[in-house]
Amino acid sequence: MTNINKTVVVGMSGGVDSSVAAYLLQKQGYKVQGLFMQNWQNEPGEVCTSEVDFQDASKICDQLNIPLHKANFSNEYWDRVFKEFLSEHEKGRTPNPDILCNREIKFKSFLDYAVKIGADHIATGHYAKIENRDNQFILKRSKDLNKDQTYFLHEVKGKDFAKCIFPLEDLSKLEVREIAENNNFINHDKKDSVGICFIGERNLRDFLKRFIKFQTGDIKDQDGNKVGNHPGALLFTQGQRQGLNVGGVKDKPELPWYVFDKSIELNEVYVCQGEFNDLLMSQGLIMEEMKWINPTIAPKKLDCEVQVRHRGKAVKCVANFNDNNVKIDFSESIRAIAPGQSAVLYKNNECLGGGIIAKALKD
């Protein structure tokens, strides 16, 4: 096998995806090693899911007879991910720390660490595909479009994909679980991790109260009438339904309420009724600086597709690249666009890159 003398270090999370990735690489003839990343330092007495994940990763590595390293990147995570996460929240925006974590930790700290311990390649359990096109490393969608994770990887530079392998690129989640079950992996039916890694099972508000001061304020409808109270406008995002506790409003139908906007200056949250109320719909957006996966001379205009959330529908659009931002016009309306989240551009299933949403555009 051509891979027989190549060492690959797999980021082992304790989950089924990274476990199967390690197994597949071993079957392909690579010398496989595992690395467990500790990215958050819990307070004494806190429930720590990472310890359970580490035990699961250890058991899989023992079963595969491969070594498992453990690296503590919590300082790097605090400085390069968490501080930005807090800063964005304080501005009233909705950040996505998973995107920062991939850019700053998994494809910088982890990559550097793996190279130091002798890796020729690194690998993760991401559902994504890398294509070498004339020595330029292109990020493409995985076969399983429902699990595709290129949205989370769009801030990683192409050059940082040069040493990376995504063994799950052509597998569905069902196939991955079947491989794990057929090999008696203890985590074959383990639930996928959801939410923000450092918050875990905790309530977001309770967690953020340790770092940010919140003030109660008014919830108002589209006509400016007060319909409720909130514990802090910073906590709410466009399209949110949970946690509003608005109901039984006089002269209003018994329909769910959704956040369509908020004012940090006035500490007010604005809500409307109906999941697809016009106030929730946008026809375009303004994106901050475009971060290309493979930097190129930016076109003035590009026909492509835009995706504004993980598992969100990719919509055809026209992107106009200006001196200090990108204006994106959609071919169809998109619901609940949240400033601070990322807009990611695609063409022919290739992920081109993306940027932070500054504001949504409405008719």
Tell me, yes or no, if 101 is annotated catalytic. yes
Segment 135-181, tens digit of pLDDT: 999 999 999 999 999 999 999 999 999 999 999 999 999 999 999 99
Q: Annotation-wise, does 287 bind a ligand?
A: no
Residue 61 is among the residues annotated as catalytic for this protein: no
The predicted pLDDT at position 48 comes to 58
Q: Is 12 annotated as a binding residue?
A: yes
CB 322 within 8 A of CB 336: no
Convert 319-344 to b/e letters by CB count within 10 Å (16 or more is b): bebeeebbebebeebbbbbbbbbbbb
**217 a known binding residue?**
no
15 is in an annotated binding site: yes
Read off the amino acid at residue 184.
N
Strand partners, 359: 286
- The reported pLDDT for the residue numbered 304 is 97
Q: Which residues of the chain have pLDDT under 50?
A: 1
Amino acid at the residue 256: P
Domains identified in the chain and CATH numbers: 7-182 (3.40.50.620), 214-275 (2.30.30.280), 280-361 (2.40.30.10)
pLDDT attached to residue 351: 98
pLDDT at position 252: 84
pLDDT tens readout for residues 251-286: 788 889 999 999 999 999 999 999 999 999 999 999
Q: Is 17 annotated as a binding residue?
A: yes
CB 38, CB 70: distance < 8 Å: yes
The SS3 of residue 359 is strand
Predicted TM-score (pTM) of the model is: 0.93
Determine the pLDDT at residue 54.
93
Q: Are 282 and 334 in contact (CB under 8 A)?
A: yes
Measured CA to CA, the distance from residue 40 to residue 198 in angstroms comes to: 6
Catalytic position from the list 61, 101, 164, 272: 101
> What pLDDT is attached to residue 202?
63
Predicted pLDDT at 47? 54
Is position 355 annotated in a ligand binding site?
A: no
Q: Which of 48, 61, 164, 197 is catalytic?
A: 197
- Please report, to the nearest 10 degrees, the dihedral formed by the alpha carbons of residues 118, 77, 50, 20 taken in order: -50
* Widest distance between CA atoms in the chain: 73
